[in-house]
Amino acid sequence: MSTVPDDLPEARPAALLRPAGRSRPARVLFDGPERVWEAYRDTLPRALAEAGVLATVSRDLSPEETDWIVYAPGGRITDFSPYRQARAVLSLWAGVELIVVNPTLTQPLARMVDPGLTQGMVEWVTGHVLRHHLGLDRHIRRTEPRWEPSPPPLATERPVTVLGLGELGLACALALTGLGFPVTGWARSPKDERRLARVFTGRDGLAPALTGAEIVVLLTPLTRLTENLMDAERLRLPRRGFVLLNPGRGALIDDAALLAALDEGQVGHATLDTFRQEPLPPDHPFWSHPRVTVTPHIAAETRPETAARAIAENIRRGQAGEPLLHLVDRRAGY
- Active site annotation includes 297: yes
Q: Choose the catalytic residue: 111, 133, 249, 317.
A: 249
Handedness of CA 242, 243, 248, 249 (dihedral sign): positive
Q: Choose the catalytic residue: 284, 297, 303, 326.
A: 297
Phi, psi of 13 (to 5 degrees): -60, 135
Contact 79, 61 (CB under 8 A): no
Q: Which own/partner pairs from 78-81 qualify as long-range (CB within 8 Å, at least 24 positions apart)?
A: 78/102, 78/104, 79/104, 80/104, 80/105, 80/106, 80/107, 81/106
* DSSP code at position 34: H
d(CA 316, CA 49): 10
- Active site annotation includes 76: no
Query: For 259-292, b where at least 16 C-beta lie within 10 A, e where not — what string?
Result: bebbeeebbbbbbbbbbeeeebeeebebeebebb
Sequence-distant (≥ 6) Cβ neighbours of residue 83 within 8 angstroms: 29, 63, 66, 69, 77, 107
Angle at 6 between CA 3 and CA 8, to 5 degrees: 95
List residues with catalytic annotation.
249, 297
